[in-house]
Chains A and B, each alone.
Chain A
Amino acid sequence: MTTMPLLEARRVTIRFGGLTAVADFNLSIEPHELVGLIGPNGAGKTTIFNMLTGVYAPTEGEISFDGKSTAGCKPFEITARGVARTFQNIRLFKDLTVLDNVKIGGHIHYTYSGTSAVLHTNRFHRAEDEAEERALELLRIFELEPRANDYAKNLPYGDQRRLEIARALAAQPKLLLLDEPAAGLNDRETRDLMATIHDVRDRFGVAILLIEHHMELVMGICERILVLNFGKTIAQGTPEEVRSNPVVIEAYLGEPVEAV
Chain B
Amino acid sequence: MKSLPWFLRDLIYLAIFVAVLLAAAYGLDALRFPGIAYYNRIIVLIGINITLAVSLNIINGHAGQFSLGHAGFMAVGAYFSAFLTFFYFTNIVEKYPAAQHPLFVVALLAGGALAALAGYIVGLPSLRLRGDYLAIVTLGFGEIIRVLILNIEKIGGARGFSGIPQWSNFFWVYFFAGVTVAVSWRLVRSSVGRAFLAVREDQIAAEAMGVDTTKYKVKAFVIGSFWAGVAGGLFAHYQMYLNPTAFTFLRSFELVVMVVLGGLGSISGSIIAAIVLTILPEVLRMAKEVLHTDKDPRMVIYSIMLIVLMLTRPQGLFGRRELWQVLARRKDTIPTDKRDEGDADDKLDRDAAPPVQ
Interface, chain A (partner B; CB < 8 A) = 53, 55, 74-76, 79-80, 84-85, 87, 91-96, 100, 103-105, 107-108, 110-112, 114, 116-122, 124-125, 127-128, 131, 147, 150-151, 153-154, 167-168, 170-171
Cβ–Cβ < 8 Å partners of A85 in chain B: 208
Is B164 positioned at the interface, with any CB of A under 8 Å from its CB? no
Give bound CA distance, A128 to B191, whole Å.
8
Cross-chain contact of B194 among A75, A79, A100, A171 (Cβ < 8 A): A100
Is B195 positioned at the interface, with any CB of A under 8 Å from its CB? yes
Instruction: Choose the segment among B124-132, B134-142, B196-204, B245-253 that binds chain A (4+ C-beta atoms closer than 8 Å).
Output: B196-204
In the complex, are the beta carbons of A118 and B208 less than 8 A apart?
no
In the complex, are the beta carbons of A114 and B209 less than 8 A apart?
no
Cβ–Cβ < 8 Å partners of B340 in chain A: 154
Give bound CA distance, A112 to B320, whole Å.
25
Q: Give chain A nearest CB distance to B253 CB in angstroms.
A: 25
Instruction: Choose the segment among B210-218, B272-280, B288-296 that binds chain A (4+ C-beta atoms closer than 8 Å).
Output: B210-218
Cβ–Cβ < 8 Å partners of A124 in chain B: 6, 190
CB-contacts of B171-213 with A (<8 A): 182-183, 186-187, 190-195, 197-198, 201-202, 204-213
Give bound CA distance, A55 to B208, whole Å.
9
The prevalent SS among residues of A at the interface is helix
Is B153 positioned at the interface, with any CB of A under 8 Å from its CB? no
Cβ–Cβ < 8 Å partners of B183 in chain A: 118
Q: Give chain B nearest CB distance to A160 CB in angstroms.
A: 12
Cross-chain contact of A76 among B7, B211, B219, B320 (Cβ < 8 A): B211
Q: Give chain A nearest CB distance to B239 CB in angstroms.
A: 29
Q: Give chain A nearest CB distance to B123 CB in angstroms.
A: 15
In the complex, are the beta carbons of B194 and A107 less than 8 A apart?
yes
Q: Give chain B nearest CB distance to A151 CB in angstroms.
A: 8
Is B343 positioned at the interface, with any CB of A under 8 Å from its CB? yes
* Residue in A80, A93, A168, A170 with the greatest tally of chain B CB atoms within 10 Å: A93
17 cross-chain CB contacts under 8 A: A75-B208, A76-B208, A93-B205, A95-B201, A95-B320, A96-B194, A105-B209, A107-B211, A108-B209, A117-B187, A118-B183, A118-B186, A119-B6, A127-B191, A128-B190, A154-B340, A171-B210
* Residue in A80, A84, A104, A108 with the greatest tally of chain B CB atoms within 10 Å: A104
Cβ–Cβ < 8 Å partners of B193 in chain A: 117
Cβ–Cβ < 8 Å partners of A171 in chain B: 209-210
Contacts known (A76-B211, A76-B212, A91-B204); A121 close to B191, Cβ less than 8 A: no
Is B48 positioned at the interface, with any CB of A under 8 Å from its CB? no
Give bound CA distance, A55 to B211, whole Å.
14
In the complex, are the beta carbons of B191 and A76 less than 8 A apart?
no
In the complex, are the beta carbons of A107 and B205 less than 8 A apart?
no
Contacts known (A117-B190, A120-B6); A79 close to B320, Cβ less than 8 A: no
In the complex, are the beta carbons of B10 and A119 less than 8 A apart?
yes
Give bound CA distance, A110 to B192, whole Å.
10
Give bound CA distance, A104 to B7, whole Å.
27
Listed from nearest, the 8 A-B pairs whose CB atoms lie closest are A117-B190, A79-B210, A108-B210, A93-B201, A91-B205, A75-B207, A104-B198, A154-B339
Cβ–Cβ < 8 Å partners of A93 in chain B: 197-198, 201-202, 205-206
Q: Give chain B nearest CB distance to A80 CB in angstroms.
A: 5
In the complex, are the beta carbons of B186 and A117 less than 8 A apart?
yes
Q: Give chain A nearest CB distance to B191 CB in angstroms.
A: 5
Cross-chain contact of A104 among B10, B186, B206, B343 (Cβ < 8 A): B206
Contacts known (A84-B208, A91-B202, A95-B201); A104 close to B339, Cβ less than 8 A: no
Contacts known (A118-B186, A119-B10); A92 close to B205, Cβ less than 8 A: yes
Cβ–Cβ < 8 Å partners of A96 in chain B: 194, 197-198, 201
Give bound CA distance, A8 to B339, whole Å.
44
Is B118 positioned at the interface, with any CB of A under 8 Å from its CB? no
Chain B, interface size: which category? 35 or more
Cβ–Cβ < 8 Å partners of B206 in chain A: 93, 104
Is B271 positioned at the interface, with any CB of A under 8 Å from its CB? no
Contacts known (A85-B208, A107-B211, A114-B219); A119 close to B202, Cβ less than 8 A: no
Taking A85-B208, A114-B190 as given, write out 20 further A-B residue pairs in contact, using a Cβ cutoff of 8 Å, ordered by the A residue number: A74-B207, A80-B210, A103-B194, A104-B194, A104-B195, A105-B209, A107-B195, A108-B209, A114-B187, A114-B192, A117-B191, A117-B192, A119-B7, A120-B10, A127-B191, A131-B191, A147-B339, A154-B340, A167-B209, A168-B209
Give bound CA distance, A100 to B121, whole Å.
31
Is B258 positioned at the interface, with any CB of A under 8 Å from its CB? no
Is B230 positioned at the interface, with any CB of A under 8 Å from its CB? no
Cβ–Cβ < 8 Å partners of B202 in chain A: 91-94
Q: Give chain A nearest CB distance to B183 CB in angstroms.
A: 5
Is B260 positioned at the interface, with any CB of A under 8 Å from its CB? no
* Residue in B6, B197, B201, B210 with the greatest tally of chain A CB atoms within 10 Å: B210
Is B109 positioned at the interface, with any CB of A under 8 Å from its CB? no
Residue of B nearest to A123 (CB): B6
Contacts known (A79-B210, A119-B10); A107 close to B186, Cβ less than 8 A: no
Is B50 positioned at the interface, with any CB of A under 8 Å from its CB? no
Residue of B nearest to A112 (CB): B191
Cross-chain contact of B343 among A74, A75, A154 (Cβ < 8 A): A154
Is B223 positioned at the interface, with any CB of A under 8 Å from its CB? yes
In the complex, are the beta carbons of A100 and B197 less than 8 A apart?
yes
Give bound CA distance, A147 to B338, whole Å.
12
Give bound CA distance, A119 to B195, whole Å.
18
Residue of B nearest to A164 (CB): B205
Cβ–Cβ < 8 Å partners of B211 in chain A: 76, 104, 107
